[in-house]
Chain A
Amino acid sequence: MPTVGVKRDLLFKALGRSYTDEEFDELCFEFGLELDEITSEKEIISREQGDTKASGASDVILYKIDVPANRYDLLCLEGLVRGLQVFKNKLEVPRYKRVSPLSGEPQKLIITKETEAVRPHAVAAVLRNITFTQERYDSFIELQEKLHQNICRKRSLVAIGTHDLDTISGPFTYTAKRPGDISFKPLNQTKEYTATQLMSLYKTDSHLRHYLHIIEDKPLYPVIYDSNGVVLSMPPIINGDHSKISLKTKNVFIECTATDQTKAKTVLDMMVTMFSEYCAQPFTYELAYRKEKLSGKFINQKVGINESTEKIAHLLTRMCLLSQATGAGDEIEVEIPPTRSDIIHACDIMEDAAIAYGFNNITRTTPRTYTVANQFPLNKLTELLRQDLAAAGFTEALNFALCSQEDIAEKLGKKISEMRAVHISNPKTAEFQVARTTLLPGLLKTIAANRKMPLPLKLFEISDVVLKDETKDVGARNSRRFCAVYYNKSPGFEVIHGLLDRTMQLLEVKPARGEGYHIQTADDSTFFPGRCADIFVRGKNVGRLGVLHPDVINRFELTMPCSALEMDIEPFL
């Protein structure tokens, strides 16, 4: 969820009144925002870098507001204020229009086919006759940054460039060239560099180095020129210094280059609609308004309210969706402005009606859905067994499903290649290399972490392990296991064996070869030679028990003898 920082006093000035912190928090809640923190630049610097660095920083109060991830129109002060003012009926829904330049000739951005392999899409617009102040300018830069971090996915999907139109001349060309053939003076540098040089220059730049990978290994780099061959930008990395905007800029040329055309348009719409209010003719910009028709009944039924068509149209208008009853039955025509790229279905419109109505004003009702509850049989068996295993004197442990390769292989005296383990491709640490194929390592680690506890330690766990299985659509399946360990001064094989007998008694399996259960000697490198047996139930091997091998005990940093049992419980369903 993106967070927007706005100066409180500036916000209240724009809203035309002041609020107590509680009142503003309440307004946010109703509108679906969250007043996350009340702070100041000074406080932030002092917290992050210490008090000394903070001295002299501004102590103007900042509101940090959490904005829903799909509401790009609320990522700056201008958009927030506009949304809230319309919501509170204090402002009419703005109408965004395009104006033609005095010359009558619109600017052109020509896209060449060389861009196809690297960054195929570009859109552009001009904000005419804008007046910047320091605050507006800061907000303009901040919005670009917020968009870059969110919808633009760190510039990989879309990158924004803004330019002082009066320093350049159209038509503009968006093309792609070999890095060695691109040369210009980048923003805030004093001399020209080739694109190749720039890439190594920015390797150490704390901000820009994160974007280099987007084009780094491409044969051609994207670049935008004006009609005189001046470089506007080399997206998505850096703009040229020549066309940089300042407080004095009157006409802003905005270009968005992208790998996703839909998102490029959304981003351009955001930049222009948000700042068009500072143009001599406010809110003038060309724009794709879309109209949707839906019925009042649809809204009433989905939300669970009973409002007139007119009232619903009014609710929607308060959410910047200019709406009116068409007069044909309960039909409502809704106009989706370019600022609301999040509205893609009638259900999005319905939600806005519900928000404007107030979620907490909706009557809470009980659906009459009649159903009979059923437990998942495997979970039912697990629940019942757990109770009785605890009653048998064993304590339940709960271990992670993810672990290291070492845990399930080397430490148990096995080879990882022999385990049917699923492997994780992007673990941040060794603890998350594989999904466990056995519950035993988790229980042994639990004992190791609790060696100070009085002996004996008797633990069990019933949980899932994960095994590769070609017959499943994803190539793997869970297997529900029961594992128990006994840790004491003597191995206590008879204790674990007794627990197996008790478990079989609970599961109504009698001790007998053939139709019952029996154990028979087995070889397993995890166990002490001659002290390991396979468990057979109705002729099928379901698990193993035995005294652990001293090497295994050592590898888990334990010092006492230990016996263990692990078996599948799914055959007992």
Chain B
Amino acid sequence: MADTGVLETLLQRVEKVDDGVDSLAVATSLGVDHQVIVGAVKSLQALGDVISAELRSSKHWELTEEGTEIAEQGSHESRVFSCIPQEGLAQSELMKLPFGKIGFSKAMSSKWIRVDKAHEGGPRIFRTVESIDDQVREKLLLVQKGHSTQLEEKEKNELKKRKLLSEVTVKSYWITKGNSFSTTITKQETELTPEMIASGNWKEKKFKPYNFEAMGVAPDCGHLHPLMKVRTQFRQIFLEMGFTEMPTNNFIESSFWNFDSLFQPQQHPARDQHDTFFLSDPAHAHEFPQDYLERVKKVHSEGGYGSQGYKYDWKIEEAQKNILRTHTTAVSARMLYKLAQQKFTPVKYFSIDRVFRNETLDATHLAEFHQIEGVVADYGLTLGDLMGVLHQFFTKLGITKLRFKPAYNPYTEPSMEVFSYHEGLKKWVEVGNSGVFRPEMLLPMGLPEDVSVIAWGLSLERPTMIKYGINNIRELVGHKVNLQMVYDSPICRNPPTHF
């Protein structure tokens, strides 16, 4: 805080006038540096509405160091003139003087002096006029006295060019009384203390106002991962809709459950080395429900249950191959098989967990991602029911405009791609896949013939990337994650409205 003396003096000045004072004028009249007054203004402002200060800026002309010298002693050319005696002066002598060089050429062009180059003993300089009028000095004196307005712009610019004048901008405050103006200053408290509360003297104190423009201190806290926050929301939606969570904690799966049980033929491209991670250890699964395996073999190779089958040589060796599961539908198959071994009751299942693909990686594809899956098994479910359930599910995500496109998937028939209308992009974008499980998958499991099973799936990463505006999946999932992004990410009230 500035010296209290200055503050009070300033307040007294302000009190005496009606319209206000200029900080620069106050500084001049008090004979102090302007910065002292500026500091006093800042301190008074911090006290609340004691004064009000309006920042003003003005331009004015000032003499440079050289200009000040000229104002005192005369211009270089006039000093050259006055140091030349009647008998003249040797040019070499003149040039030794500090103002000699510039003064000589100026005095020459003003025709005040002449050079006799042929003079005996070297060139000699003589006066050519009796007296001179040092206008440069007079102009500078005018500026120095604060009468720069009496000069023409052209004249000022010329002096500026000679580096004798410079134009400066001065900032000052126009100070007027504030709403709670007073000429005395009370010391302000910064914080409320236990002692003040105990003694009650806070009532007499004035408190320094807070700066509400500044940020607070960041809390010391932990954070949940954004993908997991979105996962929690999807999980919540399924639970609200009455879906039971499937145990998907088995990343290693046999080809049998991942493909064969889903009626996916053994030559299907998804079963290639290029698409699926196979295991070398443990390379094979060794235990299958034998009766069921025989029924699966039969429906693939010969057909049955009203199906032509694929009519190929189904091999147990292919089914035994262990893989990293390529979809959580392998777990759905296990669950439906289990369900078929009991007296049938309708079920609704869901899962959200990791799946693995041996694919080419890019900015949006990793070798592992999370699949969201929903399954409903009941008597007489229709395609209309599937679309109805999807409508409810996506409505909970804030997506209400849906349409469906026929598609192909080896284990569902019909198969539908789900599209939602993207208000931002003004077009339909794919948000998931869905379908009705094929009888060739369900009947060998032993489910009743009139039971239909509808299902749908989508990835967790895509909606999360859109929700949190992430373009490169590696910044979201895996060790290259940007922890600052994790620290800064908001809660997930709703998964994104648009994928």
Contact = CB atoms under 8 A, between A and B. Distances in A.
A426 interface: yes
A350 B225 CA distance: 44
A365 interface: yes
Contacts, number: 283
B312 A260 contact: yes
B136 interface: no
Given A69-B408, A362-B384, A445-B479, A473 B286 contact: yes
Interface in A349-408: 350-351, 354-355, 359-360, 362-367, 369-376, 378-379, 383, 386-387, 389-402
B264 to A, nearest CB: 12
A435 interface: yes
A476 interface: yes
B424 to A, nearest CB: 19
A475 B407 contact: no
Nearest to B239: A373
Contacts of B415: 351
A304 B249 CA distance: 36
A466 B303 contact: no
B328 to A, nearest CB: 12
A427 B356 CA distance: 12
A148 interface: no
A328 interface: no
B414 interface: yes
Given A348-B413, A476-B282, A398 B227 contact: yes
A423 B391 contact: no
B26 interface: no
Contacts of B347: 371
Contact of B244 (A373, A475, A477): A373
B300 to A, nearest CB: 11
A71 B409 CA distance: 12
Interface in A387-441: 387, 389-402, 422-428, 431-432, 435
Interface residues of B, number: 101
B153 to A, nearest CB: 56
A262 B312 contact: yes
Contact of A301 (B221, B311, B382, B403): B382
B223 A390 contact: yes
B279 A32 contact: no
B254 A473 contact: yes
Interface string B410-442: 100111100000000000000000001011100
B222 to A, nearest CB: 4
Contacts of B283: 425
A201 interface: no
Interface stretch (A10-18, A208-216, A269-277, A339-347): A339-347
B306 A345 contact: yes
B378 A473 contact: no
B87 interface: no
B384 A427 contact: no
A210 to B, nearest CB: 13
B38 interface: no
Nearest to B350: A373
B326 interface: no
Given A68-B407, A373-B238, A379-B245, A474 B222 contact: no
A551 B242 CA distance: 51
Contact of A359 (B243, B279, B383, B436): B383
Interface in B236-293: 238-254, 267, 269, 273, 277-288
Interface in B339-368: 346-348, 354, 356, 358, 366-368
A261 B248 CA distance: 38
Nearest to A478: B249
A402 B368 contact: yes
A157 B277 CA distance: 23
B251 A466 contact: yes
A301 B450 CA distance: 10
A369 B481 CA distance: 41
A364 B253 CA distance: 35
A280 to B, nearest CB: 33
A31 interface: yes
Contacts of B405: 29, 32, 34, 359
B307 interface: yes
A371 B278 contact: no
Interface stretch (B95-103, B106-114, B483-491): B483-491
Given A31-B406, A366-B392, A478-B251, A354 B383 contact: yes
Most buried by B among A350, A371, A453: A371
A32 B146 CA distance: 88
A481 B189 CA distance: 53
B282 A301 contact: no
Interface residues of A, number: 95
A397 B481 contact: yes
Contacts of B277: 402, 424, 426-427, 432
A20 interface: no
Nearest to A427: B277
Interface string A68-95: 1111000000000000000000000000
A153 B269 contact: yes
A572 to B, nearest CB: 15
B479 A395 contact: no
Contact of A474 (B228, B254, B387, B478): B254
Contacts of B380: 301
A302 interface: yes
B382 A435 contact: no
Contact of A302 (B322, B387, B452): B452
B376 interface: yes
Most buried by A among B240, B243, B246, B406: B406
A368 to B, nearest CB: 8
Interface string A435-475: 10000001001101110010001101000101010000111
Most buried by B among A346, A347, A386: A347
A52 B15 CA distance: 83
B310 interface: yes
Contacts of B440: 345
Interface string B213-244: 00000001111110110001001001111111
A305 interface: yes
Interface string B376-409: 1010111111011101100000000001111110
A348 B411 CA distance: 11
A422 B282 contact: yes
B308 interface: yes
A393 B221 contact: yes
Contacts of B408: 1, 32, 68-71, 342
Interface in A294-327: 301-305
Given A389-B222, A398-B481, A474-B282, A371 B252 contact: no
A42 interface: no
B41 interface: no
Contacts of B477: 398, 400
Contacts of A476: 252, 279, 282, 322
Contact of B439 (A345, A355, A391, A473): A345
A435 B252 contact: yes
Nearest to A343: B308
Contact of A424 (B278, B410, B413, B486): B278
B309 interface: yes
B280 A423 contact: yes
A119 interface: no
Contacts of B253: 474
22 contacts: A32-B407, A70-B410, A346-B306, A347-B436, A347-B438, A351-B415, A364-B388, A367-B388, A369-B376, A371-B346, A372-B242, A392-B222, A393-B222, A397-B486, A425-B279, A432-B367, A442-B479, A449-B479, A449-B481, A468-B281, A474-B254, A477-B252
Given A355-B406, A402-B356, A450-B482, 7 more contacts: A68-B407, A304-B382, A351-B413, A435-B252, A442-B479, A474-B252, A474-B285
Q: Which 7 A-B pairs have the closest CB atoms?
A: A32-B406, A304-B382, A304-B384, A475-B282, A68-B408, A445-B479, A425-B280
